[in-house]
């Protein structure tokens, strides 16, 4: 009679916090969003804006480069904010509709890990999208800059004024508005702003009843967030009445100060130091962390 | 405590706690010159438009749109609209020198010349409108210089207006020399010296002489420049420079035509 010896099953101890699980959720979120073709729409939007920059009237070389930069950065900002709000607002309802949320949460996955995974997936997609836009934009800007520089030097030669001094002057003034580190700093600022908006939208979606409510509320908070600095400057210190001051103070408390990340003029001059970039990155991280803590408190109570 | 209530309280506490931080950071960035203060608007200006346009990073985009509108108004010779649009643009981006330069150029050159050439107007009106628009160009530049006091581009533009549009050699010279101190090409310093020659007093002449002699002493091509030679001679006479320190007399221009044959050697 043979005896069967049962081999002990090796079970891995369940961890309270697992970066691996969060990464899996994040990549799944990114794939889920990519399948929704949101990125393709945004890419077309940006390319159209970029193409439009070439149809502007023939202005001075500096103005041509500035217009190209302003329009491209503006479209990147609008695209990233719209993408952050709409895509994040869809995340939880889509998981509920597809019932994947129940599958995930029925496993030993804490709710904060689920939220972190969703946030990280969104940020990953945003970062990759903006990196791609930055690359395309940098190439276009460099080509435009070289074309303008060649045209200017040819014009100086035609006027017999292409002295080394004049050529150096033209080169310096065109380079100032052309491709430099300031461009990448601006794109990073766009990413930071979009990160804060994403975290805020995720927070709203944890208690919102419908996707439409999340989108509208997030949009309103974002628009108000752009004007918070102005509110602090004019309303809270100005000669306004009690009602205006209360509304102003409330908006300043509730909305994130998104205008803080606007360094476009300084970035053109190439004056933004790494220290300032680090400071603003920390500032954005503070918002994201605070919003995630509050999101968790709402989400953990949510009845699914 | 209910976690939702705790969430609301935490959210409000975070909002309250970051108010002073937001303010301090904004001030810090402004002190470093990295952030612009909100546009200073008066109630005469379009407050609503300014407010909308001040929304975050869209400021530069709105300025850009305003600039294109000004361009199209310029094509229509609608000078009021050009001024209005460019005012909005410069308010949106007061630290961008190209906008101040362009706004002033539209007024002091394009609009002023347009009215000067407008034959439908009486001569007195033509002159008045010309002067008014040149003056407006100067006002725009001076306003821009309040934000960018050391900007060579604006200083150069100011110098050119005082040189060509509203002649004032003293102010033109000051602007050109200041521009050169802030990085303009050497040519601009020489322009300043030529203006100082026009001023005519002893101090200005001495300063002009110092500048032009400095370039002359560098050798060619400065020794061959007619403007330098002409003005140095004027200044040498004016300042009574000793003969041994004067620049060599200009050689007589070589004649390319053969001398006219003498028909008679003596008078009849």
User: What is the interface pTM, i.e. ipTM, of the complex?
Assistant: 0.81
Query: pLDDT class for A239, splitting at 50, 70, 90?
Result: low
Partners of residue B51 in chain A, C-beta under 8 Å: 227, 230
Contact assessment for residue B127 and residue B74, using Cβ atoms and an 8 Å cutoff: no
Query: pLDDT class for A191, splitting at 50, 70, 90?
Result: very high
Q: In the structure encoding, which two tokens stand for residue A100, read together?
A: 């994947």
Q: How many domains does chain A have?
A: 1
Q: Work out the minimum CA distance from B152 to partner chain A, whole angstroms.
A: 12
* pLDDT, average across residues B8-34: 86
Residue A264 pLDDT greater than 90, yes or no: no
pLDDT of residue A188: 94
Which of A253, A260, A262 is the closest to B12 by Cβ?
Answer: A253
Domain-located, residue B125: yes
Domain-located, residue A255: yes
Domain-located, residue B23: no
Are B91 and B139 part of one and the same domain? yes
Burial of A236 from C-beta contacts in 10 A (0-12 / 13-18 / 19+)? middle
Whether a cis peptide bond, with omega within 30° of 0, leads into B44 is: no
Are B145 and B53 part of one and the same domain? yes
Domain-located, residue B39: no
Residue B201 pLDDT greater than 70, yes or no: yes
Domain-located, residue B247: no
Least confident piece of the model among A232-241, A269-278, B168-177, B225-234: A232-241
Whether A272 and B6 lie within 8 Å, measured CB to CB = no
Domain-located, residue A16: no
The three-state secondary structure class of B160 is helix
pLDDT of residue B43: 45
Which of B25, B55, B68 is the closest to A227 by Cβ?
Answer: B55
Domain-located, residue A14: no
Are B126 and B182 part of one and the same domain? no
Q: Distance between CA atoms of A125 and A131, rounded to whole angstroms?
A: 10
For residue B106, give every residue at least 6 positions away whose Cβ sits within 8 Å of its Cβ, in sequence order, or none. B70, B74, B79, B82, B83, B86, B137
Which of B3, B51, B95 is the closest to A300 by Cβ?
Answer: B3
Residue A198 pLDDT greater than 90, yes or no: yes
The three-state secondary structure class of A7 is coil
Q: In the structure encoding, which two tokens stand for residue B124, read together?
A: 């007195």
Average pLDDT over all residues of chain A: 83
Q: Distance between CA atoms of A68 and A56, rounded to whole angstroms?
A: 9
pLDDT of residue B152: 92
Domain-located, residue B181: yes
Whether B93 and A300 lie within 8 Å, measured CB to CB = no
Partners of residue B68 in chain A, C-beta under 8 Å: 56-57, 67
* pLDDT, average across residues B20-48: 72
Are B143 and B161 part of one and the same domain? no
Which domain covers residue B82, as residue numbers? Answer: 44-149
Whether A67 and B32 lie within 8 Å, measured CB to CB = no
Chain A nearest-CA residue for B53: A227
Domain-located, residue A7: no
Q: Distance between CA atoms of B56 and B70, rounded to whole angstroms?
A: 22
Domain edge (last residue) among B149, B169, B198: B149
Whether B10 and A293 lie within 8 Å, measured CB to CB = yes
Domain-located, residue B26: no
Domain-located, residue A1: no
Domain-located, residue B251: no
Domain-located, residue B36: no
Are B125 and B162 part of one and the same domain? no
Domain-located, residue A13: no
Average pLDDT over all residues of chain B: 84
Which of A190, A258, A265 is the closest to B36 by Cβ?
Answer: A265
pLDDT of residue A238: 67
Query: pLDDT class for B54, splitting at 50, 70, 90?
Result: low
Which domain covers residue A217, as residue numbers? Answer: 21-301
Are B228 and B172 part of one and the same domain? yes
Least confident piece of the model among A119-123, A208-212, A265-269, A273-277: A265-269
Are B106 and B56 part of one and the same domain? yes
Q: Work out the minimum CA distance from B108 to partner chain A, whole angstroms.
A: 18
Residue B76 pLDDT greater than 80, yes or no: yes
pLDDT of residue B267: 47
Domain-located, residue A5: no
Residue B223 pLDDT greater than 60, yes or no: yes
* pLDDT, average across residues A4-25: 73
Contact assessment for residue A205 and residue A214, using Cβ atoms and an 8 Å cutoff: yes
Partners of residue A59 in chain B, C-beta under 8 Å: 71
* pLDDT, average across residues A258-269: 77
Which of A226, A232, A298 is the closest to B7 by Cβ?
Answer: A298
Domain edge (last residue) among B113, B128, B149: B149
Query: pLDDT class for A65, splitting at 50, 70, 90?
Result: confident
Domain edge (last residue) among B149, B171, B204: B149
Q: Which of A141-145, A200-204, B72-76 has the highest mean pLDDT?
A: A200-204
Whether A301 and B19 lie within 8 Å, measured CB to CB = no
pLDDT of residue B262: 54
Domain-located, residue A217: yes
Partners of residue A301 in chain B, C-beta under 8 Å: 2-4
Q: How many domains does chain B have?
A: 2
């Amino acid at each position: 009679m043979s005896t069967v010896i049962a081999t002990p099953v090796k079970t891995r101890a369940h961890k309270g916090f697992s970066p691996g699980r969060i990464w899996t959720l994040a990549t799944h979120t990114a794939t889920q969003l990519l399948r929704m073709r949101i990125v393709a729409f945004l890419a077309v939007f940006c390319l159209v804006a970029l193409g439009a920059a070439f149809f502007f009237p023939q202005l001075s070389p500096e103005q041509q480069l500035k217009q190209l930069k302003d329009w491209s950065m503006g479209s990147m900002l609008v695209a990233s904010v719209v993408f952050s709000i709409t895509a994040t607002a869809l995340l939880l309802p889509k998981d509920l509709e597809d019932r994947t949320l129940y599958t995930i949460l029925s496993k030993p996955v804490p709710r904060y890990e689920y939220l972190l995974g969703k946030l990280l997936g969104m940020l990953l997609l945003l970062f990759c999208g903006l990196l791609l836009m930055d690359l395309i934009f940098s190439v276009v800007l460099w080509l435009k800059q070289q074309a303008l520089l060649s045209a200017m030097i040819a014009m100086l030669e035609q006027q017999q004024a292409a002295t080394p001094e004049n050529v150096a002057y033209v080169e310096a003034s065109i380079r100032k508005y052309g491709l430099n580190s300031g461009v990448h700093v601006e794109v990073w600022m766009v990413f930071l702003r979009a990160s804060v908006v994403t975290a805020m939208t995720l927070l709203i979606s944890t208690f919102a009843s419908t996707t439409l409510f999340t989108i509208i509320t997030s949009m309103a908070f974002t628009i108000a967030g752009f004007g918070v600095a102005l509110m602090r400057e004019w309303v809270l210190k100005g000669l306004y009445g009690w009602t205006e001051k209360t509304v102003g103070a409330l908006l300043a408390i509730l909305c994130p100060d998104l205008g803080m990340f606007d360094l476009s003029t300084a970035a053109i001059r190439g004056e933004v130091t790494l220290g300032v970039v680090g400071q603003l990155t920390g500032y954005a991280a503070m918002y994201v962390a605070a919003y995630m803590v509050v999101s968790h408190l709402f989400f953990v109570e949510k009845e699914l | 405590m209910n976690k939702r209530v705790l969430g609301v309280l935490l959210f409000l506490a975070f909002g309250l706690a970051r108010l002073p931080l937001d303010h301090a950071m904004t001030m810090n960035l402004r002190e470093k010159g990295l952030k612009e203060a909100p546009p200073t608007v008066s109630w005469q200006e379009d407050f609503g438009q300014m407010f909308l346009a001040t929304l975050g990073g869209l400021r530069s985009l709105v300025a850009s749109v305003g600039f294109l509108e000004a361009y199209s108004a310029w094509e229509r010779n609608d000078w009021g609209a050009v001024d209005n649009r460019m005012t909005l643009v410069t308010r949106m981006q007061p630290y961008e020198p190209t906008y101040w330069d362009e706004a002033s150029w539209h007024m002091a050159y394009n609009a002023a010349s347009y009215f000067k050439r407008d034959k439908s107007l009486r001569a007195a009106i033509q002159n008045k409108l010309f002067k008014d628009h040149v003056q407006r160009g100067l006002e725009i530049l001076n306003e821009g210089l309040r934000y960018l006091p050391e900007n060579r581009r604006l200083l150069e533009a100011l110098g050119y207006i005082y040189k060509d549009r509203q002649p004032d050699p003293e102010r033109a010279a000051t602007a050109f020399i200041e521009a050169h101190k802030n990085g303009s090409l050497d040519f601009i310093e020489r322009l300043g010296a030529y203006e100082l020659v026009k001023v005519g007093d002893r101090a200005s002449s001495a300063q002009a002489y110092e500048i032009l002699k400095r370039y002359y002493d560098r050798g060619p091509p400065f020794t061959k420049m007619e403007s330098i030679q002409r003005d140095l001679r004027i200044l040498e006479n004016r300042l009574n420079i000793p003969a041994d320190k004067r620049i060599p007399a200009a050689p007589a221009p070589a004649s390319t035509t053969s001398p006219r044959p003498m028909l008679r050697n003596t008078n009849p």
